């Protein structure tokens, strides 16, 4: 692997604490069952270290340096220069540093320099790269069968599953046509919407189409287009759905949707209650 050398004066810059420990403790407060296994197994706190800055590389145009200075960036970090030097030389580069450590500037520097030197130059940014690894996406079920067929054909071409979502219009047979059009057409099932719209349990639908379900949204709604309720107060069989998934070893994900009105509490506290509800339903 090519290695670059940072040439120039190295200067230490103090870095303020991010308060990450306090934030983590707030998130985890009450997340674990009383007397049970902790929600987090291990935490390692690394002591703060001063950041090291260096001079701008000679190839960075003066106009770019001046523009960055106007935004408050007066000198680059050492890792920014190391990565930028490698990228400018045409090497593949992976940068692994902490959040908000300036990774973006590491690839922007050679791009800005190239654009300044050659007005005809172009750059292609592909972002976020996390999305490139996704094997499914969620969208509303089209009202046109022609459109869902075209989407299914495109999904098959790129081997990405499409989970079609619906709200109160959902019925037991709503997805049938789309499912026959392509093996990559699937169901994103919101069990709360389903109960509110049909006044029926979603379990028969899950049992019938479990191989075509890409994901499930969990919320507790009342029947007959009723409201979202705190979990356990509505008509949606969240507990039974989770137990079915566990018993049948279904592998599609189920996500918590916090949509009921929060009064006398806060969203994080209510989210912890939902997580605990899931644990208890699954016997954890």
Q: Would the CA dihedral through 175, 178, 180, 183 be positive or negative?
A: negative
Instruction: Indicate whether 120 and 135 sit together in one domain.
Output: no
The last residue of one of the domains, among 125, 147, 180, is 125
| pLDDT single digits (tens) 149-166 | 999 999 999 899 999 999
Please tell me the predicted confidence (pLDDT) of residue 281: 94
- Measured in degrees and rounded to the nearest 5, phi and psi for residue 161 equal -75, 145
Instruction: Indicate whether 115 and 141 sit together in one domain.
Output: no
Range 189-202 average pLDDT: 96
**pLDDT exceeds 80 at position 26:** no
pTM of the full structure: 0.59
Please tell me the predicted confidence (pLDDT) of residue 102: 87
Instruction: Indicate whether 151 and 94 sit together in one domain.
Output: no
User: Cα(209)–Cα(204) distance, rounded to whole angstroms?
Assistant: 9
Instruction: Indicate whether 140 and 263 sit together in one domain.
Output: yes
Of the candidates 77, 84, 82, the residue with the CA atom closest to the CA atom of residue 108: 84
Instruction: Indicate whether 111 and 135 sit together in one domain.
Output: no
Instruction: Indicate whether 3 and 72 sit together in one domain.
Output: yes
Please tell me the predicted confidence (pLDDT) of residue 5: 45
Number of domains the chain contains: 2
CA atoms within 13 A on the CB side of 238: 29
Residue ranges with strand state E in the chain:
11-13, 51-53, 136-140, 161-165, 185-190, 213-218, 220-221, 228-229, 254-256
The last residue of one of the domains, among 125, 145, 176, is 125
The last residue of one of the domains, among 110, 125, 140, is 125
| pLDDT single digits (tens) 266-281 | 888 999 999 999 999 9
Residue 35 lies in a domain: no
């Amino acid at each position: 692997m090519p290695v670059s050398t940072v040439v120039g004066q190295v200067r230490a810059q103090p870095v303020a604490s991010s308060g990450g420990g306090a934030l983590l403790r707030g998130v985890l407060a009450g997340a674990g069952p009383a007397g049970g296994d902790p929600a987090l197994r291990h935490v390692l706190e690394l002591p703060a270290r001063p950041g090291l800055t260096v001079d701008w590389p000679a190839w960075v145009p003066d106009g770019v340096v001046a523009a960055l200075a106007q935004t408050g960036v007066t000198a680059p970090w050492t890792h920014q220069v190391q990565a930028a030097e490698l990228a400018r030389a045409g090497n593949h580069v992976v940068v692994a540093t902490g959040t908000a450590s300036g990774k973006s500037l590491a690839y922007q520097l050679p791009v800005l320099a190239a654009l300044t030197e050659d007005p005809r130059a172009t750059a292609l940014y592909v972002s976020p790269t996390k999305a490139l690894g996704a094997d499914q996406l969620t969208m509303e079920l089209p009202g046109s069968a022609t459109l869902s067929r075209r989407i299914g054909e495109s999904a098959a071409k790129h081997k990405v599953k499409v989970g079609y979502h619906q709200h109160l219009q959902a019925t037991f047979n709503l997805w049938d046509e789309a499912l026959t059009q392509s093996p990559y057409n699937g169901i994103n099932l919101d069990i709360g919407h389903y109960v509110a719209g049909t006044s029926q349990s979603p379990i028969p639908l899950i049992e019938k189409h479990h191989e075509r379900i890409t994901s499930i949204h969990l919320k507790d709604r009342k029947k007959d287009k009723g409201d979202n309720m705190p979990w356990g107060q509505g008509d949606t069989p969240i507990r039974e759905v989770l137990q079915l998934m566990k018993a049948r070893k279904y592998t599609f994900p189920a996500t918590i949707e916090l949509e009921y009105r929060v009064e006398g509490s806060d969203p994080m506290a209510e989210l912890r209650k939902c997580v605990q509800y899931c644990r208890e339903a699954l016997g954890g």
